[in-house]
A and B are shown apart, each in its own frame.
Chain A
Amino acid sequence: MAEYMAQGKQPEVLFWVGCAGSFDDRAKKITKAFVKLLHNAKVDFAVLGTEEGCTGDPAKRAGNEFLFQMQAMMNIEVLNGYEVKKIVTACPHCFNTIKNEYPGLGGNYEVMHHTQFLKSLLDEGRLKVEGGKFKGKKITFHDPCYLGRANNEYEAPRDLLRKLEVELTEMKRCKSRGLCCGAGGAQMFKEPEPGKKDVNIERTEEALGTNAKIIAAGCPFCNTMMTDGVKNFEKEGEVAVMDVAEMIANAQDL
């Protein structure tokens, strides 16, 4: 982003990579797949790189409003400094926080989840989505809470999957009644409270019950939780957990 600023240019969109997308080995693959798609669609984009910091979502949901607002204010200063107008991110938690909670602290941007952005590229004819190797494969989509229930976006990822000509099969608990993967509300970073089983096991069980070959996800944390779940059932040989962006990039062998 700093380079754009130095040249006096504005990119079309800022890609907010997020902590998982920057550091988590699995999520980095999603980041790279999404970047390939952006290049492929000739989108002029920038990232903040080392100037990006955690949005504060886990701090806020853990109850640390103080730390959240510190993070938010720092990020908003950077974003406003670069006069950012439009942001896309592959993490529903970053998406929700920047879209809904930053405006009250002085950060007003058009914020899109990467599935929404890819859908818009598709509609504008800039991105071609074809079935390729996924054609006719049985696939189920796991709704991320912070994209679905939190922000009422259920169709963008599904539209993309349909374009991949997959056989989309829904779990019983889907869309507004979708079951959480168990990572939200800072649960990702702590051991669960005692109970009968872990939430991600419950959810993976349901996903495996559809006999889908791929569990499609739209969130790096859901991805981790579902991948762990699949491993727990020792099905990693048969069932893959993939981000929608990875699937599109993969279908085209990018």
Chain B
Amino acid sequence: MAYITKILFLIALVLGVGYFTYNIRKVISRIKLGQEVDTSDHKKQRWSNVVRIALGQSKMVVRPIAGLLHIVVYVGFIIINIEVLEIIIDGLFGTHRVLSFLGPVYDVLIGSFEILALLVLLGVIFFWTRRNIQKIKRFWAREMTSWPKNDANIILYFEMVLMILFLVMNAADLALQRGVAAGTFTSETASHYIQVGSYPVSQFIAFLFQGMSEGTLIVIERSAWWLHILGILVFLNYLYFSKHLHIILAFPNVYFGKVVPKGKFKNLDSVTNEVKLMMDPSADPYAAPPEGAETPAKFGASDVMDLSRIQLLNAYTCTECGRCTSECPANITGKKLSPRKIMMDTRDRLEEVGKNMEANGGEFKDDGKQLLDDYILREELWACTTCNACVEACPVSIDPLSIIMDMRQYLVMEQSAAPNELNVTMTNIENNSAPWPFNQMDRLNWKNEN
């Protein structure tokens, strides 16, 4: 019997971790469909960003209520996961509370896990009410269609159930420990429940178990134990299908985030070459390109493959909190643009392209769709004021603005599809070096006016 449970546990563990690894590799290969970027610069600042923004949650607390609640859940989840280590060892070797040899340290550990579990539970309930009862606006925006909404709630339910199972498991354990100590429970199985740990929270649940038989308590304890670890494995595998990947990707994403001033947009090297050639008096404009020359790069982005790997990582990292959208001047004033939707669309399209490639032996088969128009509308792109509010608001350094800019570049430089007024502006700049039709020779006229 003992062997069977150990083997079952091993199978569950291998399946859970294996499938998760398989999916994470899929994420990595999809991110690699993007253009390579050199990120070897600013190492020190990148690490300091990871410490401050990702580990230290510095941007989360800009909104104090959500920020503090999030820190509780985040710290709780990280620390309670130490318990998972014990559960895995116990499961594989058939031991019970293997770390209990730590003595008083163990008591402190279990005690703090319990308090954190309670705080996480309360935090998650609070999150749930904010979404579903208080109906905070950013959770009910246009792009928050049924799946994103359900996804968010499923995650919260998962966390609630896991925390409750953890506390019930401890409570049953405590009830058994008390029974053994009092000499009422005498079976061989019950003797595993030696008196260890401190249970500041679950002692109140254990109260409910008073008078239950030894057998019932063991069933409750074992069921809670199994459901807890299986739940964790299922949740781990749910990550890939949900917006919850941020619990892992936030760290690399912050590392690769923008480290130059937000106002600094990248200069396209492919354009620099063309401009230099144009301005070089000795260049022959009619010269045929040399044999074997590369075809000029496409300007801007119309689909996910044109975006950079960092932008694609951004898309997988986005947890759809909507802080970007709620700060976006275009969105606030009722325009269609929502920076969060830009990220969600990018991920959806990337998933679609990835699946297409899997189905076609690694080659992308044209599906007649692209990120532009089929996902992100021109109307959204042209509503952006490039004010960087979305970039500033993102707690995990996602840059929706860079995608908007790349897509505008495609529209203007590959398609000549700028709004008409902008074409006029650009013609003015081209002809008389100002966005308005004034003569460049009149630039100094203000000097003599009163």
Contacts and interface: CB of A to CB of B under 8 A. Distances in A.
Interface of A: 17, 19, 21-24, 28, 31-32, 47, 49-50, 52-54, 56, 58-67, 69-71, 73-74, 96, 99-101, 104-105, 145-146, 149-152, 176-177, 179-180, 182-199, 201-203
Interface in B288-305: 299-300
B409 A63 contact: yes
A101 B419 contact: no
Contact of B387 (A50, A67, A73, A180): A180
Contact of B385 (A70, A71, A99, A199): A199
A213 B431 CA distance: 41
A146 B261 CA distance: 10
A49 B426 CA distance: 21
B66 to A, nearest CB: 15
13 contacts: A17-B446, A22-B443, A28-B446, A59-B425, A59-B429, A101-B265, A177-B62, A180-B387, A189-B422, A190-B382, A202-B329, A202-B332, A202-B333
B335 interface: yes
B2 to A, nearest CB: 59
Between B327, B329, B424, the greatest number of chain A beta carbons within 10 A of the residue's beta carbon is seen for B329
A69 B411 contact: no
B387 A145 contact: yes
Given A64-B426, A197-B333, A149 B440 contact: no
Given A150-B264, A185-B384, A195-B335, 20 more contacts: A22-B443, A23-B443, A32-B446, A58-B435, A64-B412, A66-B413, A69-B272, A73-B279, A100-B264, A145-B385, A149-B263, A149-B387, A149-B389, A182-B333, A184-B387, A186-B422, A190-B419, A190-B421, A195-B330, A198-B333
Given A180-B385, A182-B385, A196-B334, A69 B267 contact: yes
B392 A63 contact: no
A253 B315 CA distance: 54
Contacts of B393: 177
Contacts of A52: 433, 443
A63 B300 contact: yes
A196 B444 contact: no
B435 A28 contact: no
Contacts of A150: 261-264, 388
A192 B383 contact: yes
B258 to A, nearest CB: 11
Contact of A62 (B279, B299, B412): B412
Nearest to B332: A202
A80 to B, nearest CB: 14
Interface string B235-257: 00000000000000000000000
Nearest to A173: B327
